[in-house]
Structure 1
Amino acid sequence: MPAGGRPTVRSRRLGAALKRYRQGAKLDQPQAAEVLGVHQTRISRIESGHVTARIIEIRALLSAYGVDDPKVRTKLETLAKNANRRGWWLEHAAHLRQDYLDHISLEDDATHIREWQPALIPGLLQIPGYAEAVIDSAADFVDPGKVPKLVKVRQDRQARIEETEDAAHYTAIIWEPVIAHPAVRVDIYQEQLAHILEVGKRRNVTLQVLPISAGVKATMPSAFSCFSFDAEPTVEAVTLDNLRGSSILEGAEDLAAYSLAFDQLRSAALAPEASARLIRGVLRRSKEESK
């Protein structure tokens, strides 16, 4: 059972997947309960993520649902085994909101991370000075004593996109005004742009700038991240930023909508090479003006 009876991100993902396969097989919860010889309540709690299905239950349910693909079966079994695995971020749990912990959990499991950011440099790309300035700017909502800890967590998250064998594939689309107009001290701003250019050279990272000329494309929803957990970049979870934190979307219609939104943004954005040229130009001008 998830710690404290609260669904974990992984137990919710497992439950949602089992529910999709049950519905695809046109079975209801009472019929699924008959497969396991349990009360319908257990199926309901498994599908909501309040309890984690045992491996033997997953195998029986998938067989009843006609799911024979070994990759799917292995994926769900692995998800069940890791449902309550303690992640590095839980060491900081006392200082982080639960929605942020959930976001990091998704990020840590993801094979593909895609992000749209119209207001700030994405957290996965922020240097410490930029992160500190951004977090400090939210002083009305953040305890000043927590700022160093929050900066440390933000830096630790970036290990997920370092160029290693199991690194996530990361694509970020940033609106041009975020690049063109410093939101922090000029020296930090210049270091931040240089860092983006370096990270953009990694084989697993794609950085694109959405130009102002794209017009209404920049009126897309506020910042959001899409997560995939397989070799194929099918969107399986989305997080949305808001003033008080973030929320997770997992419904099929929501996932399809945000997947389409990201594809539209990516099509309207400059290619990675052109984006890097734009950033280099902005950085060069900033250095010339600050002499």
Structure 2
Amino acid sequence: MPAGGRPTVRSRRLGAALKRYRQAAKLDQLEAAEVLGVDPARVSRIESGLVTARILEIRVLLTAYGVDDPEVRDKLEDLAKRSKHRGWWLEHAAHLRPDYLDHISLEDDATYIRVWAQALVPGLLQTPAYAEAVITASPSYVAPERVGQMVKVRAARQAKIEEGGAAYTAIIWEPVVIHPLVRAEIHREQLEQILEVGQRKNVTVQVLPLSAGTLAGEISAFASFSFDEAAMVEAVTLENLRGTSILEAPEDLAAYTLAFDQLRSVALTPDASAQLIRRALQRSKDDAS
């Protein structure tokens, strides 16, 4: 079984990949089961992510599917190994929604993370005070004793970009920068944090200006993830009142890849974005003096 006794993002990604290669080879699940010498139900459970394929099963299936590329084979074997790995976030499983744990798993695996932030500063850039203010104000009630735990988890997620484990690009709508939704001192600290993190080599922060028109209102906030050296989007997450939705269908990934490219094409350059953030920070300081 995948770690935690439920389908995980990793086991689902592995199963979906094996399904794609099986279909490309024009084999059905019964034929794949015959190759393995197992009941067809096992192939179904592997492809749905309910169980993780053994390394030997992966090798046999990929050979039957005509997949000889060593990089592909190594990638899927590694995914199988990691699907059973107990990530640090599972220590907090009792306090977090399963869909949020899936989002963290995607972050942990990603080599490229791209975020469009329409209303709030992205989680990987949030200060503890900003995170606490946002969590406390959430329309979904969070018990006071859980707030601190969730702030710690959000801070732990930031290690991914702090350690250079992924290339991170955030596009933030201008109102998020110039109109504080939290106390002014928390907002100023948050702007300083964005400027500091934005100087890292693996981090790019851009501001989408109000002059971009209706585009910001047409594209809701999302995050996209890539898992290889190539920057091809392989998963997208959307936040809503009921939790986090994960999109993995090719047509969805293509749509959000195009959307991010559209946002980036009209966003300010990183340098111009930093200048805008500095001006907003200075105005806030001036107002406080």
Task: Name the TM-score, length of structure 2 as normaliser.
Answer: 0.97
Give the stretch that moved more between structures: 35-44 or 98-107. Answer: 35-44
Aligned pairs for 1:181-260 within 5 A: 181-260=179-258
Cα shift at 1:235: 0.8
Aligned residue for 2:228, secondary structure, equals coil
Compute the displacement of 1:140 (Å): 4.7
Match of 1:21 in 2: 21
Contact 2:99 2:245 in 1 (8 A): yes
Q: What is residue 44 of structure 1 aligned with on the other side?
A: 44
Secondary structure at the counterpart of residue 82 of structure 1 = helix
Q: Which runs of 5+ in 2 are unaligned?
A: none
Contact 1:8–1:84 under 8 Å retained in 2: no
Larger mean Cα displacement after TM superposition, 267-276 or 216-225: 216-225
RMSD after superposition: 1.2
Q: Is the 8 A contact 1:222 1:241 kept in 2?
A: no
2:109–2:227: 8 Å Cα contact kept in structure 1?
yes
Quick one: distance in 2 between partners of 1:9 and 1:140?
A: 24
Q: Following the alignment from structure 2 to structure 1, what is the Cα–Cα distance between the partners of residues 156 and 218?
A: 29
**Which whole-Å deviations, capped at 9, do the CAs of 1:73-123 have from their partners, x for residues lacking one?**
101001101112111111111111111111101111111111111000000
Instruction: Give identity over the alignment, percent.
Output: 71
Q: Shift in Å at residue 26 of structure 1?
A: 2.0
Q: Which amino acid aligns with 2:46?
A: I
The count of residues paired between Structure 1 and Structure 2 equals: 289
Matches within 5 A, 1:1-291: 1-3=1-3, 5-138=5-138, 140-164=140-164, 167-291=165-289
Cα deviation for residue 163 of structure 1 reads 4.0
Amino acid at match of 1:90: L
Residues 1:4 and 1:146: Cα distance change in structure 2 (over 3 Å): closer
Shift of 1:39: 2.1
Amino acid at match of 1:256: A
Task: Indicate if the aligned counterparts of 1:163 and 1:204 stay in contact, CA closer than 8 A.
Answer: no
Give, in whole Å, the separation in 2 of the partners of 1:224 and 1:68. 35
Shift of 1:222: 2.0
CA drift at 1:221:
3.1
How far did 1:20 drift?
1.2
Shift of 1:139: 6.1
Structure 1 stretches lacking a partner, 5+ long: none
C-alpha distance after superposition, 1:249-285 (max 9, x if no partner): 1111111111111111111211111111111111111
* Alpha-carbon shift at residue 5 of structure 1 (Å): 4.5
Distance in 2, matches of 1:79 and 1:40, equals: 22
* Aligned-residue offset at 1:64: 1.5
Give the distance between the partners of 2:141 and 2:247, measured in 1 at CA.
24
Q: TM-score, normalised by structure 1?
A: 0.96
Amino acid at match of 1:260: L
Structure-2 separation of matches of 1:23 and 1:281? 55
Aligned-partner SS, 1:172: strand
